[in-house]
């Protein structure tokens, strides 16, 4: 089933294999929040409202950033109403372990594999995993609820079209940590406050376990969430929220402040 959009935005999503591979089509409201899935250098814009280069001014900073204001399929969104469909299959990936580097980009932390990584297959097309980054709190919301953090796994196909897999994190379950964040926390802490600095990760990083195969997912077509806000990006947001401790969430804040629009 194809997603429909209302005047104020819309989206779609998908469910787990346990529900007969049903796909959830989401009618969502565009929150017009921003994350770091974009192509502009982070120093070229700000997330702070009221700044001369803040989110409400992005469309005026460069001519090719006009979509940040005039776009009709902008991300992130609030996932509001869900209708079950059967169009989409479980996520197929061939990720692998490899050497990686963590960078503080100023607004977030990003992890890159030095020799690239595996692929994600969507609708018969292969997308290569380019990088992963984190935000605290989350960019996307579900029924108006914002989560403690969000991880974006950014992929690109041979024609440069992008798709992003998103994992939401919550620290509400006391005593439950994230192994993923626990492994990377020392690098986040070393890089906090050091914009553009990098740290080589000791040992290979394998993202194969970062996507919970038992989780359903929401699917919609949106945009890059930083300038130039290009549309046509396929978003997949896992419906199962991952656990993390409050300390792990705090370690994601590259400048010890909120980095979302």
Pairwise CA distance, residues 188 & 178, whole Å: 14
Q: In the annotation, is 107 catalytic? A: yes
Collapse the DSSP code of 138 into the 3-class scheme (helix H, G, I; strand E, B; otherwise coil) and give the result.
coil
Among candidate residues 42, 107, 133, 152, the one labeled active-site is: 107
> Phi first, then psi: what are they for 137, rounded to 5°?
-80, -170
Question: HEC states along 164-188?
Answer: EEEEEEECCCCCCCCHHHHHHHHHH
103's enclosing H/E stretch is: strand 100-104
Instruction: Output Rg (C-alpha) for the chain, integer angstroms.
Output: 17
Cβ neighbors of 203 (< 8 A, separation 6 or more) are none
Cβ neighbors of 122 (< 8 A, separation 6 or more) are 91, 163, 234, 236
Residue recorded with tokens 């802490």: 189
Q: Which residues are catalytic?
A: 107
């Amino acid at each position: 089933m194809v997603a429909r959009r209302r005047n104020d935005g819309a989206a779609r999503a998908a469910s787990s294999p346990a529900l007969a591979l049903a796909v959830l089509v989401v009618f969502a409201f565009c929150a017009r929040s921003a994350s770091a899935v974009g192509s502009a250098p982070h120093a070229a814009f700000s997330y702070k409202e009221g700044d001369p280069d803040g989110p409400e001014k992005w469309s005026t900073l460069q001519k090719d950033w006009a979509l940040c204001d005039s776009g009709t399929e902008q991300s992130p969104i609030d996932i509001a109403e869900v209708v079950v469909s059967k169009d989409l299959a479980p996520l197929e990936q061939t990720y692998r372990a490899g050497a990686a580097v963590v960078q503080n980009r100023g607004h977030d932390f990003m992890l890159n594999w030095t020799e690239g990584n595996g692929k994600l297959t969507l609708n018969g097309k292969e997308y290569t995993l380019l990088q992963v980054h984190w935000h605290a709190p989350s960019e996307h919301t579900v029924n108006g609820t914002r989560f403690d953090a969000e991880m974006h796994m950014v992929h690109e196909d041979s024609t440069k079209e992008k798709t992003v897999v998103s994992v939401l994190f919550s620290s509400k379950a006391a005593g439950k940590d994230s192994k993923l964040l626990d492994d990377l926390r020392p690098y986040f802490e070393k890089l906090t406050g050091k914009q553009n600095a990098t740290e080589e990760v000791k040992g290979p990083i394998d993202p194969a376990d970062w996507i919970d195969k038992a989780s359903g997912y929401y699917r919609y077509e949106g945009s890059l969430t930083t300038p130039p806000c290009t549309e046509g990006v396929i978003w997949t947001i896992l419906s199962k929220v991952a656990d993390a401790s409050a300390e792990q969430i705090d370690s994601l804040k590259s400048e010890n402040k909120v980095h979302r629009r």
